Structure 1
Amino acid sequence: MTQPISRFTVPDLDSLPDDMRDAILKVAEKSGFIPNIFLALAHRPAEFRAFFAYHDALMDKDEGLTKAERELIVVATSGLNRCQYCVVAHGAILRIRAKDPLIADQVAINWRKADLSARQFAMLDYAEKVTLDAGRITQADHDALAAAGFTPDEVWDIGAIAAFFGMSNRLVNAGDIPPNPEFYLLGRA
C-alpha cells in the first residue's frame, strides 16, 4: 500500500512557479529523489518559500555549529516530538554528515544513551528544554552552554533549530507526510 504524500493538496511539479520548481529539481538532482516535504509544502508558495528560506538560514551555515551538530539537534528534537518524517529524513543526513551509521537511531530513540561528547550532551539538553519546556529556561542553562564552549550565537542557533523543527514536526504530523523510502538506507553502509 502506498501512502499519499500528504493529506492536503499536492500540486503537480510542472504547475509550480519557476523558482520553486527549480529549487525542488536542484534537491532532486543532488539526492536522486524529491523529498516529500517539498511537494507537500508546495501547495502554499509563500509558506514554502518562507519555510525553506529559514530552514536554509539555520541549517546551511558554515560558521558556528557544525552541520552534523545541527542535524543532531533536528533528530533529537524530532524524536521528542514523535515526527517520523524528520527522524528518518534528518537521520539519514546526520548519518552522512557525522560519518556514523549508528548515531541517528541512538539519538532519535534516547539521545541521553547515545555515544556523544560532553559538548553534544549539553547542546541536546538545551535543545530538549527548548522543545519541551522553554518557559523554564534560565541563565543557568546559558551558563552551562557557555561552560561547554558554546558562543551566544551558537546558543541562539541551538534554540532556533529546536524551535523551527518543533514547528516543522507539527506540520508534518498534521499533514501525515511519510518519509521517502530512499531516506531509510542513506548513510547506513
Structure 2
Amino acid sequence: MPQPDHIAIYDLPDPADLDEDMRRYFAVCEEKLGMVPNVLRTYARHQDKLRNFIQYYNTLMLAPSGLSKLEREMVAVVVSSANRCFYCLVAHGQAVRALSGDPQLGEMLVMNYRVAPLSARQRAMLDFAWALTTTPWEVDAPHRAALVAAGLSEGEIFDLADVIGFFNMSNRFAIASDMMPNAQYHGMARESSTSSVLD
C-alpha cells in the first residue's frame, strides 16, 4: 500500500519560481540524489528559512566532526524513533542503510536500537540520544559521564547534543507539517554488503 502522495499540508511554490540560487541547489539535489528531498520542498515556502536550514543541516551532518557521518545518521534515526517521525525515519533510515552497507541495521534502529550489534561508543551515544529526547529533564552529569567513559571527547559530546537537538526540532516540524518522505527512499540501499556497523 503506498504512502499518501502529498508533500506536506502547505501550498508549496513551483520549484521553477524559486530564486536562482535555490533553483541551482535543487538541480544539484536532482543530479546527486535523483530527487529533491521533500523537507527542502516544504521549506521552500520560505526561502530564507530554506537557506538557513540547508546551511545548518550541511554543517551539522556533512562537515568534519569527531562523529562519523554514520554515527550522526544513527542518532537522527534513534531520535526520530522516539518521536515517531515518519519522514525522518524513512529518510535517515535509508542513510544508515547506505552508509553502513547493512539494510538490517536501519530497520533495527527504527524499531529498537537496543537490539542492534553496536559498539560501546555507539550504544552510549544512542542511549544519550534516547534519554535527551524522551526525558530531557532527567539528563544530568551521570549521562554525560557515560559518554566520557565511552571515549567521547568534549567536542564530540557538543556535536552529539547538537544533532539530537536539531532532529528533535525537525521531527516536530515534519510531524506538524504532515510531511511525507520521498517514495524513492523506501527502496534505496536494500542490498547487503560485507561492511559492518562495528568497522
TM bucket (normalised to shorter chain) is over 0.9
Superposed CA deviations along residues 150-185 of structure 1, whole A, max 9, x for unmatched, are 011111111111110111011111111111111011
Q: Give the TM-score normalised by structure 2.
A: 0.91
Query: What corresponds to 2:139 in structure 1?
Result: 137
- Inter-partner Cα distance in structure 2 for 1:109 and 1:13: 35
Match of 1:15 in 2: 17
In the alignment, which of 47, 66, 72 is matched to residue 45 of structure 1?
A: 47
Q: Could you tell me which residue of structure 2 aligns to residue 82 of structure 1?
A: 84
The alpha-carbon deviation at position 38 of structure 1 amounts to: 1.0
The ranges of structure 1 where at least 4 consecutive aligned residues each deviate by more than 4 angstroms after the TM superposition are: none
Q: Tell me by how many angstroms 1:78 deviates.
A: 0.5
Aligned partner (choices 92, 95, 101) of residue 93 of structure 1: 95
Q: Shift of the alpha carbon at 1:75?
A: 0.6
CA distance in 1, matches of 2:100, 2:158: 22
SS in 2 for 1:37: helix
- Give the root-mean-square deviation of aligned CA atoms: 1.2
Match of 1:61 among 63, 67, 73: 63
Partner of 1:102: 104
Partner of 2:164: 162
> What per-residue deviation string (whole Å, max 9, x for no partner) do you get for residues 70-118 of structure 1?
0000011101111111000111111111111111110011111112111
Residue 157 (structure 2) pairs with residue 148 (structure 1): no
SS at match of 1:109: helix
Paired residue secondary structure (1:63)? coil
Looking at structure 1, the residues matched to 96 and 30 of structure 2 have their Cα atoms a distance apart, in angstroms, of 18
**CA shift at 1:61, angstroms?**
2.1
> Given that residues 124 and 146 in structure 2 are in contact (C-alpha distance below 8 angstroms), is that contact kept between their aligned partners in structure 1?
yes
> Which residue, out of 21, 25, 33, partners 2:35?
33
Q: CA deviation at 1:135?
A: 2.1
CA-CA distance at 1:63 after TM superposition: 2.8
What amino acid is the match of 2:60? L
**Shift of the alpha carbon at 1:128?**
1.1
How many residue pairs match? The answer is 189
What TM-score do you get using the length of structure 1 for normalisation?
Answer: 0.96
